[in-house]
Each structure stands twice: as C-alpha cells, then as structure tokens.
Amino acid sequence: EVQLVQSGAEVKKPGESLKISCKGSGYSFTSYWIGWVRQMPGKGLEWMGIIYPGDSDTRYSPSFQGQVTISADKSISTAYLQWSSLKASDTAMYYCARQPTVTPLVDVWGKGTTVTVSS
C-alpha cells in the first residue's frame, strides 16, 4: 500500500526550532515529488514548497521562501519540513503530499502533523 506517514503532533514555544517528517512507503520514493501544504486553523490550503528526493530539486512558494527549509533523505524515504525559529503564526496543520510531477496533482496525502506554537 502506498502511504505517507507523518510524525506526531508538536507543541513548541516561540523561538524554538522544529523538524517534522513524512515517510513514504510502498513506492519508489525517489520518483515522485513531495509537497508540503499548510492549513491554518479554520483556513484554506496553501502550497509551501516541493522537493524531488531523486535529486533534491526544491522549490518554495514566495510566501514561505526563507521561512522554512524542505529537505529529504532518500536513504530512509523521508522528507522533512523545518523551522529554525517558530512563531505563533506557524500554528497550523501541515500535510505532506505525493505529486507525480510539479503539476498540482496530489495522489497521496499524509494525515497531517499539527504544530502548535504558544508561550
């Protein structure tokens, strides 16, 4: 079965760092893009960025460039989304998503990781 398994919920304080993960299984991890999507409480979906684990080609939405870092370790079929200094406004659900190409076709979604940033 093809699936993306995301790491568990996180509760952090402003200024702390965080790295969440998304592990792919049941398919060739290096042959598909992995995208990250933010959903703030009660709000819509926002593309943050995507990575091609095969060659680490990474693209960011202008809104998230410099705010987060997307990476992947193909040896363990895992993609990451990380922050160096969290803000309260980073409180959201974060989904990873499998994309066959850079078009907006997501055929497999992770269940999401809730990140709560509060002092």
Partner 1 sequence: QSALTQPASVSGSPGQSITISCTGTSSDVGGYNYVSWYQQHPGKAPKLMIYDVSNRPSGVSNRFSGSKSGNTASLTISGLQAEDEADYYCSSYTSSSTLLCVFGTGTKVTVL
| Closest CB to partner 1 among residues 88, 102 | 102
Cβ at position 77, least distance to partner 1 in Å: 19
Phi, psi of 101 (to 5 degrees): -140, -170
Among 110, 113, 115, 117, binds partner 1 (CB under 8 A): 110
User: What are the CA-CA distances from residue 100 to residues 61, 72, 93 (Å)?
Assistant: 18, 16, 23
Among 44, 66, 75, 119, binds partner 1 (CB under 8 A): 44
Q: Report 51-70 residues binding partner 1 (CB under 8 A).
A: 59-62, 65
Q: Are 84 and 17 in contact (CB under 8 A)?
A: yes
Judged by the rule CB under 8 A, the positions of this chain that interact with partner 1 are 35, 37, 44-47, 49-50, 59-62, 65, 95, 102-107, 109-112
